[in-house]
Amino acid sequence: MKRTEGKAQAVKSTSSQVKAKVPVAYEVELRRMVEQQAYFRAECDGFRLTPEEYWYAAEKDVHKYF
């Protein structure tokens, strides 16, 4: 019984490690999209808010699609 439990734990930890890996190119592209969206939002708004507020709103917009 102990051998089975050990294998199940090993498989479980391996599958969680695979899920956690995200390609670097995807992260870079996602950041670029958020940067552009934040700038366009700020430009349309006349730069009245803080950069962080535009950034958070842009992240929300971009993550809706991905």
Q: What gap in Å lies between CA 1 and CA 3, rounded to an integer?
A: 5
Q: What gap in Å lies between CA 36 and CA 42, rounded to an integer?
A: 10
Domain ranges for the chain: 22-66
Quick: pLDDT tens for 4-22.
555 555 555 555 555 667 7
Query: In terms of C-beta distances under 8 Å and separation of at least 24 residues, what long-range contacts does 22-31 make, across chains too?
Result: 30/62, 30/66
| pTM of this prediction exceeds 0.75 | no
Quick: pLDDT tens for 28-65.
999 999 999 999 999 999 999 999 999 999 999 999 98
Eight-state DSSP code of residue 47: S
